[in-house]
Homo-oligomer: A and B are copies of this chain.
């Protein structure tokens, strides 16, 4: 995954991943009307709205970006119908050549983590293997330590998949646990960084970056720069750009000297751009998303 991702960043000359985190409020009225008409006031209607919305966004941006990152929670809230839309979004994005990072933030003890690893490994039933989720990579929460990571390592190597482990998140209260200062003068997230770096040694890609990557929020400039030095072989997924406040300048130091080693996420800033940009409206939300991707690409161009 990590080599394919870096190749696609090179080809598109764009280290952007588009977060597919639809909300009900984000969906244009015409799509809402159509799906409510077809399926009534049901979870299926909401799920079909999300899927339609995602497909149009994907069509509009798939030649410009290397990857998309659907946030599973947005689909999961609509139950199994919602999760079907998550799965169909993955299938559709992969067909359009995009790498899919499932933002699932799972994390559990070993036997359970083994089950969650089915997201990237698939599952066997009487000798037949099914790839029921089929993300190229997923995000993982590290609070349970290596037990929650280990089951993902062999699928990373065997099926060319990847994981992104939360190191430093972009949200305000992330600091409550992550920024605790430990007895050696470093922080919890720096310890996590060291663990992630070590966990990644057995799953290296060919370009010097590991298939065990990290999530490092854009909203803490100096911390990101420091982590880049501490984790020279760890690829960063950077949330917090755009709607959450960070700009291209804030994340310059997260990239390596060749302008590689990162992919920057924007979700609402792209998918709901039609609400902010006066040139657009609900009828051409996908065009607004395309323009937002181009603007973001230009903002990042000085870096990578």
Contact = CB atoms under 8 A, between A and B. Distances in A.
Interface of A: 21, 23-24, 36, 41-43, 45-46, 71, 73-74, 76-80, 83-84, 87, 105-113, 115-116, 118, 123, 125-128, 130, 132-133, 141-148, 166, 169-178, 180-183, 185, 188, 191-192, 195
B80 A46 contact: no
7 contacts: A41-B128, A74-B115, A77-B115, A80-B84, A145-B174, A147-B171, A147-B173
Contact of A169 (B87, B123, B133, B144): B144
Given A169-B144, A175-B145, A118 B43 contact: no
B73 A143 contact: no
Q: How many copies does the complex hold?
A: 2
Nearest to A178: B143
Nearest to A268: B111
Contacts of A147: 171-174
Given A79-B133, A118-B77, A183-B182, A125 B43 contact: yes
A116 B76 CA distance: 7
Nearest to A36: B126
Given A87-B79, A182-B183, A73 B116 contact: yes
B76 A115 contact: yes
A121 B116 CA distance: 24
Q: Tell which of A43, A180, A195 has the most Cβ of chain B within 10 Å.
A: A180
A71 B166 CA distance: 22
B174 A45 contact: no
A133 to B, nearest CB: 7
Given A83-B80, A143-B166, A169-B144, A130 B177 contact: no
A191 B23 CA distance: 34
Nearest to A173: B145
Given A83-B80, A123-B77, A123-B78, A176 B188 contact: no
A173 B188 contact: no
A141 B116 CA distance: 15
A163 to B, nearest CB: 15
